[in-house]
Structure 1
Amino acid sequence: MIPVVPPARPNKAARNVLRKLVQGEAPPTAPMNIVDRLAGSPYANFTIQVGKAEESARKTIDFALRLAETMFRYGAGALEVETSIIAVTAAMGLRNIEVDITNQSVIINYAPRDAVPITLLRVVRSWTNNYAGLVEIHELVTDVASGGVSRDEAHRRLDVIIKKPKPFPRWMVSMAEAVFAAAVVGVIGGTVVGMIVAFMTILLAGQVARVLGKWRVPDFFVTAISSFIVTMVAVLCFMMEVPLSPSIVVAGGILLMLPSGRLVSAVQDAINGFPVTAAGRFLSAFLTFGAIVAGIAVGLVSSAVFGADRLNVAETISGTLPLFWVLALVGLATVAICIAEQTSVKLVLPTTAVAVIGYVVYYYGMEFGLGGRFAPAVAAVVIGMLARVIALRLGAPQLVVAVPSIIFLLVGLSIFRAMFVMTLTPEDSVTGAVGIFNALVVILAVAAGVVLGDNAARPFTRSSGQKDRRRNRRR
């Protein structure tokens, strides 16, 4: 007799595994939930506040727009603004929103099912340096996302942040800008005389710029007039036979005018998926470069009219100080730029430490033959990682530590030299074009390195996210 074998029972678990391997968990055309944009950010583990969110949606969106406007005014990037808006609105019960950020405007659309949609727009028309305010806004968004702050309390705290005076007075900022210029002149190879001249030049140009700002003169002409003053100081030093290079005087005077941070932020916005904002910042940065070149050109032409010799203010400068003194000057310059950017007092020393470590990586990268393009990228990766870890430990956004720490790479100075050569020396226009290309490559490498370091440091900051998750569960 032939034994009868019962039919095999279908294995449901095996079929599910096979279906997932072949088909996937979600349809390939399913739209991405906007809350998923919080993955990897400090606000990934938000807590939804229980309440009638639909009835107070307009107030929540008004608060989110005001928060975004303040962050843009204080110097935040587009990604930080977007994640903050999503975290705040999601924590307050509004998940079906869309956020659109284009250069200096923020649009929030809320379209609940079977209800009238709400679309609000806010335009940012002024900017100021206030990294300390960004730190406090980061703490506010963190508290809102954790469920510990109601909307009314968040409104009150945002009002306090906006009205709170900056940590450093104006006279200290002016002195810090001058100290920064003098220190960086020492880093790039200037003498003590050059550092003193740069210090006095920045003080003079800064006072003139403040007066022009009170008269509501456009920034383009303020920058051009300031660079004209710097050039005339270089011409006077040359005519008086002061023992220093004219290029040192000009470099020290225009360092603060160079939009190095804006260029890096533009590349970061492009990498993070904000091309319109990146294009706007690129245009603004190159207009600033054009203003600087125009002011220097007018100064050189004016000096030639009065019989002075034509100066070469774009020659390459190489440092000659020992590494110990260079590191001391880098630390001093970082402290000064932190004061100029109105960084929170608790972040000044950590930011200085990150900048010094980054410069050491850059220095030895050049010594080991990595080259002028790869060495800044490696240093930027290290800075991006350290900035994320330290900033989140101290309750601050990553850019507050990262941006002042990359100033020593002087990405804007190379673009200025290339634009100057291409504009004012037509016979070397090819050299200037190649210089601009090389400078843009370095800027892209630095910005990409900072973003890569920020993403690479996420596993090291996961512990704080787990603590937030456990605290949210207890609520």
Structure 2
Amino acid sequence: MRTLLRTPMSERPAFERTEREGRPETGSRNVPRILDLALRIGELLLASGESAEDVEAAMLGVTHAYGLDRCEPQVTFIMISISYQPSLVDAPVTADRTVRRRASDYTRLAAVYRLVADITAERAGVNDAYRRLAEIRRNRHPYPGWLLSLCAGLLAGAACFLVGGQLDAKAWLVFATAFIAAVLGDRLAWLVAGRGLPEFYQFVLAAMPAAGTGVILALAGPGVGLRGSVVITGGLFALLPGRALVSAVQDGLTGFYITAAARLLEVLYLVAGIIVGVLLVLYVGVRFGAQLRPEQSLLQHSYPALQLAAAMLLTLAFAVMLQSHRRTLLLVTLNGGIGWAVYGALTVDIGVSPVIATGIAAGIVGLFGQLASRYRYASALPYVTAALGPLLPGSAIYLGMLSVAQGHADGGLVAVSRAAALALALAVGVNLGGEVARLFMRLPVGVGAGTAAGQRPAAKRTRGF
């Protein structure tokens, strides 16, 4: 469907129609229903975090399967539309839909992709597709809210082992402290979300418990052995919007600049909320004499086996928080472990720069995720997003905020710039891995007939030269 989307309308092949397409459901009177079905499917995909290109490809595949060849979908951050022109002399039929609610439910996303696959394979009529889509909308989330809160705490606790790299007498106390702080922050965010407070303030409040707990541990004195910097960093891992960042960069790389700019602005607001929440607490803590020494507690690859297990546990907790289907949990956990192992081998054994190592590790995660999704005929997001969790720049962001709170603005700017470079490498790497995987995939029948066998036509995303 991507190849069909990247081909101009005048060059798209007119596939031979089957017996099903002669039925009344593909007649002109059914055009508004087909367009509405494509819009509703696109709305669910976009609300789940899919890239704009994949949303347009799915919408185009649905309309093409029902006999509407001359369709042009268009996706922005909050609005999707589709236009169908029966012929050059007929007036086009256009419909649009606004995306008002966004939620991370990868189980629902997988169900939508199965529906799209059945539609494009001509196994579902319009009425059947509407019925299945209504069932997908009505289905409840696979995991209850209390389990998501526990997974948020588990993610923060695993991140403590990941960035602390120590397994001593106090390590489990640090884990428990980070766990409780993350659960408290998650519940606090849910409480204010129910009151209709914007997401910016939700992230401000959600970041405060972890920061406050870290400051309290630092005020207790270094003799206690509870590493406050590790607790704060673990809390950041549970809040960073990695999914939105990857989608923003992917849209930018594929030519959807308006959607990419909107998504990137959303990421900036959410990260700004985290920074404000942590900075407020750190500023008060430093004024009261809290001695936060991240150089003594944030270690890199001290215990590789422990950190690998922590990375896989973090990935598993992240996948549950994203409402991933149970059948994908094992693969995404292994993918996260592979990504972290590659990053550790590059930085420790070879001495590669962390930014380059992050990009390479993210590329491998994207490659394996894309291949797994093609094997399962599903979206790549459930196999990729959670696996990127261990590579998020939580430590760099914390170091930047701590430097600012201590009055070292120059050092804070350097650390934040490093975090931005790591985040960009992460997003570009995972996109490149997905593109590399597609180089070895077969073309759909009838597409690219004018090219050499096995060769994929160039993606005409921009004007080019």
TM-score of the alignment, normalized to the shorter chain, above 0.5: yes
1:27-426 → structure 2 map (5 Å cutoff): 32-34=7-9, 49-51=21-23, 52-113=26-87, 114-189=89-164, 191-241=171-221, 242-303=224-285, 308-312=288-292, 317-366=298-347, 367-411=349-393, 413-415=395-397, 417-418=399-400, 421=403, 424=405
Could you tell me how far 1:89 is from its partner in structure 2? Answer: 0.9
Q: 1:342 to 1:37 in 2, by over 3 A?
A: farther
Aligned residues: 427
My pick for the range that moved more, 371-380 or 189-198, is: 189-198
Q: Which residue of 2 aligns with 1:13?
A: none
Q: CA deviation at 1:135?
A: 0.8
Check the 8 A contact 2:65/2:119 in 1, yes or no. Answer: yes
Q: Which residue of 1 aligns with 2:3?
A: none
Pick which of 106-115 and 172-181 moved more: 106-115
Counterpart AA for 1:105 = M
**Matched residue SS, 1:406:** helix
Aligned to 2:452: none
Report the residue type matching 1:79 in the other structure.
E
Quote how far apart the aligned CAs of 1:322 are.
2.1
Between 1:317-326 and 1:370-379, the stretch displaced more is: 317-326
Scaled by the length of structure 2, the TM-score of the pair is 0.84
CA distance in 2 between partners of 1:457 and 1:45 (Å): 29
- Cα gap change, 1:417 to 1:86, in 2 (>3 Å): farther
User: Highest Rg: 1 or 2?
Assistant: 1
Deviations 1:57-94 (A, max 9, x none): 11111111111111122222222211111111111111
Give the SS at the match of 2:80: strand
Q: Which ranges of structure 2 fall in alignment gaps of 5 or more residues?
A: 1-5, 166-170, 446-465
1:55 partner SS? helix
1:355, 1:406 within 8 Å by CA — same for their partners in 2? yes
Measured in 1, the distance between the counterparts of 2:226 and 2:429 equals: 35
Question: 1:300, 1:311 within 8 Å by CA — same for their partners in 2?
Answer: no
Q: TM-score, normalized by length of structure 1?
A: 0.83
Query: 3-state DSSP class of the match of 1:217?
Result: coil
RMSD: 2.8
2:370 & 2:351 partners in 1: Cα distance?
A: 28
Is contact 2:182–2:209 with CA below 8 Å preserved after alignment? no
**Percentage of matched positions with identical amino acids:** 27
Amino acid corresponding to residue 448 of structure 1 in structure 2: V
CA distance in 2, matches of 1:50, 1:35: 24
**Residues 101 and 107, structure 1, Cα contact 8 Å, conserved in 2:** yes
Deviation at 1:136, TM superposition (A): 1.0
Give 1:373's aligned amino acid.
Answer: V
Tell me which residue corresponds to 2:432. 452
Q: How far apart in 2 are the matches of 1:281 and 1:411?
A: 19
CA contact (8 A) 2:232 2:398 kept: no
CA contact (8 A) 1:35 1:86 kept: no
AA at the equivalent of 1:188: V
Query: What does residue 21 of structure 1 align with?
Result: none
Supply the distance in 1 between the matched residues of 2:12 and 2:283 (Cα, whole angstroms).
Answer: 53
Tell which deviates more after alignment, 326-335 or 344-353.
Answer: 326-335
Per-residue deviation at 1:396?
A: 1.6
Structure 1 residue 438: Cα displacement = 3.1
Report deviation, 1:37.
Answer: 9.2
SS in 1 for 2:164: coil
Q: Could you say which residue in structure 2 is the equivalent of 1:27?
A: none
CA deviations 1:273-332 (Å, max 9, x no partner) are 111111111111111121122112322344467xx2155487682235422222211111
Secondary structure of 2:351's match?
A: coil
**SS of alignment partner, residue 198 of structure 1:** helix
CA contact (8 A) 1:45 1:145 kept: no
For the Cα contact (< 8 Å) 1:330–1:356, is it kept in 2? Answer: yes
Deviation track 1:97-149 (CA, whole Å, cap 9, x = no partner) reads: 22221112112122332333222221111111200111111111111111111
Counterpart CA distance in 1 for 2:164 and 2:11 is: 48
Cα pair distance change 1:459/1:283, threshold 3 Å: closer
**SS of equivalent to 1:140:** helix
Q: CA separation of 1:313/1:157 partners in 2, compared to 1, >3 Å: closer, same or farther?
A: farther
Work out whether residues 334 and 351 of structure 1, in 8 Å CA contact, stay in contact via their aligned partners in 2. Answer: yes
Report the secondary structure of 1:462's partner residue.
Answer: coil
Cα contact 1:108–1:119 (8 A) shared by 2: yes
Cα deviation digits, residues 422-450 of structure 1 (max 9, x gap): x5456433x33343433333323222222
Give the letter for the 1:326 counterpart. Answer: Q
CA distance in structure 1 between the partners assigned to 2:292 and 2:306 by the alignment: 28
Q: Is the 1:91–1:147 contact (alpha carbons within 8 Å) kept by the matching residues of 2?
A: yes
8 Å Cα contact 2:215-2:228 kept in structure 1: yes
Assess, with a 3 A threshold, how the Cα gap between structure 1 residues 434 and 236 changes in structure 2: closer, same or farther: closer
